[in-house]
Amino acid sequence: MAAGSEDAQLVFWDIRMPKDVLTIFYKTQTDDIMSVALTANNYAVSGSEDLTIAVFNLTEKDEETALDFLASPGEAARRLFPLVDNHFGYESSSNTIGIYRIDSGVRTNFHTYQNTVC
């Protein structure tokens, strides 16, 4: 299980032992963590108010080693969701939906919609 905080921490727990924190990542992002997604292939993705999206390989325990890539879509990712084939999606603060591929960091916007649709 993972959660982000207002002081830019990404905290991980094992749900079998919820009182024990597994690890905390706190160096990569510098502002509120607005959203977190866990993927089936051992990655965590976090979106921050600092306008970055960080992708961590959870087979590594050290934050610097676990950081797979840090992307900057130019706006805050307020929702993240895992997709198939090493992809994840995000909804930005300007209501753009985009896709990143975890192993390459390639960003593709595929849909933009109006605020009234949210």
Which of 95, 106, 90, 93 has its CA nearest to residue 39?
90
Answer yes or no: is pLDDT of 7 > 90: yes
d(CA 53, CA 70): 6
**38 within 8 A of 57, measured Cβ to Cβ:** no
Task: Taking residues 92-104, report their average pLDDT.
Answer: 80
- Residue 62's pLDDT band, with cuts at 50, 70 and 90, is very high
Question: pLDDT value at position 118?
Answer: 47
- Residue 114's pLDDT band, with cuts at 50, 70 and 90, is low
- Residue 112's pLDDT band, with cuts at 50, 70 and 90, is low
Percent of the chain at pLDDT > 90 equals 42
Task: Taking residues 102-115, report their average pLDDT.
Answer: 66
**28 within 8 A of 47, measured Cβ to Cβ:** no
Beta bridge partners of 38: 44
Q: 65 CB contacts (<8 Å, ≥6 apart)?
A: none
Task: Taking residues 98-106, report their average pLDDT.
Answer: 78
Query: What residue spans define the domains of the chain?
Result: 2-117
Q: Look at the pTM and tell me if it is higher than 0.75.
A: yes
Of the ranges 3-12, 39-48, 58-67, 85-94, which one carries the lowest mean pLDDT score?
85-94
Query: For residues 51-73, b (16+ Cβ closer than 10 Å) or e, as one string?
Result: bbbbbbebeeeebeebbbeebeb
The CATH superfamily of 2-117 is YVTN repeat-like/Quinoprotein amine dehydrogenase (2.130.10.10)
